[in-house]
Amino acid sequence: MSPDCCQSIIEINDKKKKWCFLARILRLWKSWDSNNSAVPLTVDLVLMDSYGHKIDANIGGEFIPKFHSSLREDDVYIMCNFNVTLNHLDVKTTAHKYYLNFTKHTKIKKVDDDFVPIYSYFFTHPQVFLSPNYRSEELVDVIGMLAKVEMEDDNFIDGEMKKVVSMDLAKDGMLDRTISKPHSVYAINETTKAHVLDQWVYKTIRHTLSTLGLCAMGSMSVILGKVEHLEPNCDWWYLSCVCNTKVIPYDNMYYCQTCSRRVLIVSQRYIIRFRVSDNTGSATFVMHDRMASDFYEMSCSKMLQYAINDGVPEQISNMVGKCYLFMVFTRVCSNSDSVNSYPVAKVTADGALIQSFKRHNSIE
C-alpha cells in the first residue's frame, strides 16, 4: 500500500475489487436509525482524489467499529480493497457511476499529502436545475447570494414528511426561486415513494373541519373538503420583496416594511385563500407560493398570463365546487386582513386516492 500504486477514482468500476487510490475525505456523516439512536446505521463518505474526481462510499453497521475511529473528514488516506457496486442511491452526492462499500478486507492508511486539493466545486447555474425539464438525483454545487433562510419546517418530498430548511437564492440580485434542502439524513429511498397512499390514507390523522381547530398546533391533518369559493376581497397573488413580505407602491418604486427600505426588485407570488367545507363546517385554507407553484405546475408570474382582465385564471377558479384531499398544518396563521386560515401543505384531486380515503374512513 504505497502511493505509487494509486489509481484515479474515475477509473473505478465493478470489474475488480483491488482498487487502490489516494483520496481526501471531503464529507463524513452518520445516519441513525430512528429507533436506536445509540448506534449509527451507516457512515457515509465522499472521497476525492488529486484530480478532483469524487465517489461516494459507505461503511455498513458491522464495519463501523473497525474503521470509523481512524477516519476523519479533511484527511488524506491511501485506500484499498472495496466492494464496488453501481450507484443506485436516490440522492447521489457525486456523479460517479459506482459506489464503494467498505468490507473486512478494506485497508486504509492516513498519509500527509498536499496533492489532493482541499475542495473541488463544479458549479451548476440555477437556470439549469430550476428548468422544469431538469431531472437528476445528483446533488449540485451552487453559488449565489443567499437572500433568505427560512425556519425549519415540515414539508412533503416524494410523499414523505421531512424536515426542510428552505432558502431563497438570489442571482445577480434577482430572485431565482426557492431551493429546498432536505434536512433529514434519511435521504429519499425507494420505499418512501410507494407510501403516498400511506401518507394520505393511513399515516396522517384524518380530521373534519369541526375538529380541525382542536388538533395539536403544528400537527398535520388530512381533510376531505369541497372548495366553496375564493375568499372575497382577497387577491390571489401579491408583489413580494425578496424577504417574502408584500411590498407597497412608493414613489415609483416599492417599499418593504420588513426590510425598512425601498426595493426595486419584486416578484409575483401566489397567496390563494379558499373557503373549504365538509358536512361538519367550513374553514379558510391558504395555498402559499411554493405549494401553489407545485400544484399548478407553473410559477405565479406565468399564471398571471392567464388572468384575463385582471380576473382569476381558470386554473384557479375551476377548483370551486370540486372535492379535494387537503393536507393542512393545524397551525392557524392570522394574517393582516385577520382571516384565520390553515396553510395547505399538499392538495390532490386524485380519484383513486380520494376513493381509498373514503373507503378507509367509511365516508359515503
Q: Tell me if residue 9 falls in helix, strand or coil.
A: helix
The C-alpha cell at 248 is: 407597497
Q: Which of 83, 219, 245, 317 binds Zn ion (CB under 5 A)?
A: 245
Q: How far is the CB of 238 from Zn ion (least distance, A)?
A: 13
Instruction: Single out the residue of 114, 96, 3, 5 nearest to residue 58, CA to CA.
Output: 96
Query: Measured in whole angstroms, how far is the alpha carbon of residue 222 from the centre of its chain?
Result: 21
Which of the ranges 29-37, 99-107, 252-260, 356-364 carries the binding residues for Zn ion, by CB under 5 A? 252-260
Residue 243 is a binding residue for Zn ion (CB under 5 A): yes
259 lies in the binding site for Zn ion (CB under 5 A): yes
Least Å distance, CB 335 to Zn ion, is 16
Q: How far is the CB of 174 from Zn ion (least distance, A)?
A: 15
Identify which of residues 259 and 349 has a Cβ nearer to Zn ion in the complex: 259
> Smallest distance from the beta carbon of 259 to Zn ion, in angstroms?
3
Nearer to Zn ion, 144 or 281 (CB): 144
Nearer to Zn ion, 68 or 177 (CB): 177
Minimum distance between the CB of residue 263 and Zn ion, rounded to whole angstroms? 6
Sequence-ordered list of residues with C-beta below 8 angstroms from that of 41, at least 6 positions apart, any chain: 30, 31, 32, 33, 61
| Smallest gap from residue 242 Cβ to Zn ion (A) | 6
For position 241 contacting Zn ion by CB under 5 A, the verdict is yes
Binding span for Zn ion by CB under 5 A among 37-45, 98-106, 226-234, 239-247: 239-247
Q: Which is nearer to Zn ion, 245 or 277 (CB)?
A: 245
Please count the residues of this chain forming the interface with Zn ion, following the rule CB under 5 A.
6
Q: What are phi and psi of 135, to 5 degrees?
A: -130, 110
When the beta carbons of 127 and 258 are compared against Zn ion, the nearer one is 258
Stretch that binds Zn ion, among 196-204, 250-258, 288-296, 341-349 (CB under 5 A): 250-258
Q: Which three cell numbers stand for residue 86?
A: 453501481
Instruction: Quote the cell numbers at residue 327.
Output: 393536507
Contact call for residue 256 and Zn ion (CB under 5 A) = yes
- Give whichever of 125 and 148 is closer to Zn ion, judged by the CB atom: 148
| Selected range binding Zn ion among 46-54, 70-78, 236-244, 311-319, rule: CB under 5 A | 236-244
Min CB(269)–Zn ion separation in Å: 12
The set of residues, in sequence order, having a beta carbon less than 8 Å from that of 112 and lying 6+ positions away, is: 76
Binder of Zn ion out of 8, 131, 258, 280 (CB under 5 A): 258
Residues paired with 302 in a beta bridge: none
Residue 159 CB-density burial (10 A; 0-12 exposed, 13-18 middle, 19+ buried): middle
Taking the complex as a whole, the smallest distance from the CB of residue 261 to Zn ion amounts, in Å, to 8
In this complex, which beta carbon is closest to Zn ion, that of residue 86 or of residue 259? 259
Cβ of residue 254: shortest distance to Zn ion, in angstroms? 9
Task: From 48, 38, 207, select the one nearest 117 (Cα to Cα).
Answer: 48
Q: What is the grid cell recorded at 11?
A: 477509473
Ranges within 42-81 binding Zn ion (CB under 5 A): none
C-alpha pair distances (Å), 357 with each of 213, 221, 295, 360 = 21, 13, 20, 5
* Helix/strand/coil percent split, the chain, to 5: 20, 45, 35
CB nearer to Zn ion: give 41 or 243: 243
- Examine residue 86 and tell whether it contacts Zn ion (CB under 5 A): no
Q: How many CB atoms lie under 10 A from the CB of residue 284? A: 16
Q: How far apart are the first and last CA of the chain?
A: 71
* Cα dihedral 333→335→264→258 (10° resolution): -80
What cell numbers appear for 200 in the block?
394520505
Residues that bind Zn ion (CB under 5 A): 241, 243, 245, 256, 258-259
